[in-house]
Structure 1
Amino acid sequence: MLPALFLAHGSPMLAIENTEYTRFLERLGRTWKPKAIVIFTAHWESDVLTISSTDEVYETIYDFYGFPDELYAIQYQAKGSTQIADMVAERFERQGIPTRKDRSRGLDHGSWTLLRRMVPDADIPVIQISVNPFLPPQDQFKIGESLRGLGAADILVIGSGGTVHNLRVVKWEQTTPEPWAVQFDDWLVDKIQKRDVDSLFNYMELAPHASLAVPRPEHFVPLFIAMGSGDPQRTARVLYRGYDMGTLSYLCLQF
Structure 2
Amino acid sequence: MTIQSNSTLFPALFISHGSPMMAIEESATKTFLNNLGNTLPTPKAIVVFSAHFDVNDNVVVTSGENPATIHDYYGFPEALYALNYSAPGAPKLAQKVVGLLSEGGIKSRLDANRGWDHGVWIPMKLIFSKANIPIVQISINSQLGPEAHYRLGQCLRVLREQDVLIVGSGGISHNLRELFTNRPDPDRAKKVELFTRWVCKTLHIGDIKSLFNYLDDAPYALFNHPTPEHLLPLFCILGSCTDSESIKRIHQSVESEVLALDAYLSD
Q: TM-score with structure 2 length normalisation?
A: 0.91
Q: How does 1:2-81 map to 2 (within 5 A)?
A: 2-30=10-38, 31-46=40-55, 47-55=57-65, 57-81=66-90
Q: Which residue of 2 aligns with 1:91?
A: 100
Q: Hey, what's the Cα distance between the residues in 2 that align with 1:35 and 1:17?
A: 29
Question: 1:231, CA displacement in angstroms?
Answer: 3.2
Q: 2:232 aligns with which of 207, 218, 221?
A: 221
Question: 1:153, CA displacement in angstroms?
Answer: 0.6
Q: TM-score with structure 1 length normalisation?
A: 0.95
CA deviation profile, 1:97-126 (whole Å, cap 9, x unmatched):
000111101111010110010111110000
The alignment covers a number of residue pairs equal to 253
Q: Secondary structure at the match of 1:26?
A: helix
> What letter is aligned with 1:50?
V
Q: Which runs of 5+ in 2 are unaligned?
A: 1-8
Question: 1:171, CA displacement in angstroms?
Answer: 6.1
CA deviation profile, 1:181-207 (whole Å, cap 9, x unmatched):
010011111111111111111110111
CA deviation profile, 1:20-39 (whole Å, cap 9, x unmatched):
21111111112221010000
Runs of 4+ that moved beyond 4 A: none
Q: Which residue of 2 aligns with 1:136?
A: 145
Q: How does 1:100-139 map to 2 (within 5 A)?
A: 100-139=109-148
Percent of aligned pairs with the same residue? 38
Q: Hey, what's the Cα distance between the residues in 1 that align with 2:180 and 2:105?
A: 43
Question: 1:10, CA displacement in angstroms?
Answer: 0.6
Q: Hey, what's the Cα distance between the residues in 2 that align with 1:145 and 1:151?
A: 11
Counterpart contact for 1:171–1:246, Cα < 8 Å: no
CA deviation profile, 1:14-66 (whole Å, cap 9, x unmatched):
112222211111111122210100001111111211000122x2211111111
Do residues 187 (structure 1) and 195 (structure 2) align? no
CA deviation profile, 1:155-180 (whole Å, cap 9, x unmatched):
000010012101011169x9xx8011
Q: 1:196 aligns with which of 185, 207, 210?
A: 207
Q: How does 1:160-175 map to 2 (within 5 A)?
A: 160-170=169-179
Q: Which runs of 5+ in 1 are unaligned?
A: none
Counterpart contact for 1:149–1:231, Cα < 8 Å: no
Call closer, same or farther: CA 1:231–1:28 in 2, change over 3 Å.
farther
Counterpart contact for 2:64–2:114, Cα < 8 Å: no
- Give the superposed CA RMSD: 1.7
Q: Hey, what's the Cα distance between the residues in 2 that align with 1:77 and 1:171?
A: 33
Counterpart contact for 1:37–1:155, Cα < 8 Å: yes
> What letter is aligned with 2:11?
P
Do residues 150 (structure 1) and 167 (structure 2) align? no
